[in-house]
Amino acid sequence: MKSYYIVVPALVLVVVLVGAYALLGMTRQLLRTSPSQKVSTSTLPHMATEPVTVSSTYVEGAPIVTATLSGHTVSLTWTTVPKATSYTIYRSERPSPAPPKTIAIDAHQPFSDSPQPHGATFYYQVAGVAGTNELVKSGAIPVAVAK
């Protein structure tokens, strides 16, 4: 009877440790996702009708931007930046150091964009603005829009 009191808690502990190890493995895989990887509904066929979301990497003093791709529409949201009174949105068809185009000044959240041509990859950045001074730009987010 006493061995029962030892075996059951030991089995519970093993199950908890295995579950924690599996969760850690999934978390590590998610953290390995690089911002340079393209997000596209065409590369995720099982999610083709579902929105796909990706966030920018951390840049000191810059907003963290989240892009959600649904169909051909990209929706951007971002964290607020201290002292910023407005935000400027940039888009480029090439990764840095190519200069991005300004696509919105004094933008508000959520910001939606339907870039052309479909089937291309676009790189989005957001920068806070304080008065007439632009603050630090976010990391670029690559989004591949399906054809």
- Nearest residue to 128 (alpha-carbon basis) of 65, 90, 75, 83: 83
Residue 9 has a pLDDT of 58
pLDDT tens per residue across span 64-109:
999 998 888 999 999 999 999 999 999 999 887 778 899 999 888 8
pLDDT score recorded for residue 3: 53
pLDDT tens by residue, 34-67: 444 444 433 433 333 446 777 777 788 899 999 9
d(CA 115, CA 7): 60
